[in-house]
């Protein structure tokens, strides 16, 4: 999967391209020094509804902690500058640092830091930074990635077992026709006396035990 293509497919626009930032009422100079663009910044993607902003960052460019702290500071300044604007009302709590690293063993500790922005750290092939390749296993980390149900195979054995556990159609009809038994409780000597008899309890216990196996 090409990460940039996945963004485009889900309706996200990279505001670093051409003059798109101004179309959304954003001045890029309020986010970073445009005369010296940070080398780790690969894109800034805004959602079609203008309610999410993803900073696509090359995690190989520096230490993960340093990258996250730097961009948290930049994002904090951006939100302060745009505090009274309509654009930030939707984006303020939906700004994400999407950090792509080429190393297979990832340090994901910073994902727990949600103070300014959310952090998502994934593995990807960064040889061509304009077309970052990520595995399907990594794509599930993307909040906007759709997982279609037809990609899952039905476990036939589990399906059969579930059918055996569920009551048959005739049994369901009998249960529906049977008058519902209301649960009554009375107290005697600080002990709760319930309307269910021993057989009822045994049936429930058997069903629970079988369900947990």
pLDDT at position 182: 56
List residues bridging with 44 in a β-sheet. 55
Residue 106 predicted with pLDDT over 90 = no
CA angle (91, 44, 63) in 5-degree steps = 105
pLDDT at 20 over 90: yes
Q: How open is the CA angle 73-76-79, to the nearest 5 degrees?
A: 155
- Whether 88 contacts 79, CB under 8 Å: yes
pLDDT for 213 equals 53
Global pTM reads 0.68
Give the helix, strand, coil percentages of the chain, each rounded to 5: 40, 20, 40
What value does the mean pLDDT take over residues 66-76?
96
The stretch 26-45 carries a mean pLDDT of 95
Instruction: Work out the pLDDT band at 12, boundaries 50, 70, 90.
Output: very high
From residue 34, how far is each of 28, 70, 98, 120, 178 by CA, in Å? 7, 16, 20, 25, 75
Task: Give residue limits of the domains in the chain.
Answer: 3-151, 156-211
Report whether pLDDT(101) > 90.
Answer: yes
Structure tokens at 205: 């216990």
pLDDT tens, residue by residue, 147-200? 545 555 677 788 788 877 777 777 777 767 666 555 555 555 555 555 666 777
> What's the Cα-to-Cα distance from 193 to each of 14, 16, 116, 183, 196, rounded to whole Å?
67, 70, 55, 10, 9
pLDDT computed for residue 71 by the predictor: 97
The residue-averaged pLDDT of 3-22 equals 93
> How high is the pLDDT of residue 14?
97
Q: Which pLDDT score is estimated for 179?
A: 62
If one counts every other C-beta atom within 10 angstroms of the C-beta of residue 70, the result is 16
- Residue 143 clears pLDDT 90, i.e. is over it: no
**Look-up of token digits 């993803």:** 54
For residue 144, name the pLDDT band (cuts at 50, 70, 90).
confident
Tell me how far apart the alpha carbons of residues 88 and 85 are, in angstroms, rounded to a whole number.
6
Res 25: pLDDT: 92
Per-residue model confidence (pLDDT) at position 188: 56
């Amino acid at each position: 999967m090409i990460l940039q293509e996945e963004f485009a497919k889900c309706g996200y626009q990279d505001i670093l391209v051409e003059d798109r930032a101004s179309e959304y009422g954003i001045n890029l100079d309020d986010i970073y020094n445009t005369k010296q663009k940070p080398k780790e910044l690969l894109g800034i993607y805004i959602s079609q509804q203008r309610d999410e902003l993803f900073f696509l960052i090359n995690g190989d460019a520096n230490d993960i902690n340093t990258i996250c702290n730097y961009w948290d500071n930049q994002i904090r300044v951006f939100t302060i500058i745009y505090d009274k604007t309509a654009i930030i009302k939707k984006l303020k709590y939906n700004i994400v640092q999407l950090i792509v690293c080429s190393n297979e063993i990832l340090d994901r500790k910073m994902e727990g830091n949600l103070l300014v922005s959310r952090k998502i750290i994934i593995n990807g092939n960064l040889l061509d930074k304009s077309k970052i390749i990520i595995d399907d296993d990594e794509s599930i980390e993307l909040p906007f990635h759709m997982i279609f149900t037809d990609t899952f195979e039905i476990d036939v054995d589990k399906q059969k077992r579930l059918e055996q556990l569920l009551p048959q159609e005739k049994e369901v009809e009998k249960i529906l026709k049977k008058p519902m038994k209301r649960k009554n409780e009375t107290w005697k000597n600080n002990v709760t006396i319930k309307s269910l008899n021993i057989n009822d309890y045994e049936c429930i216990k058997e069903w629970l035990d079988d369900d947990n196996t």
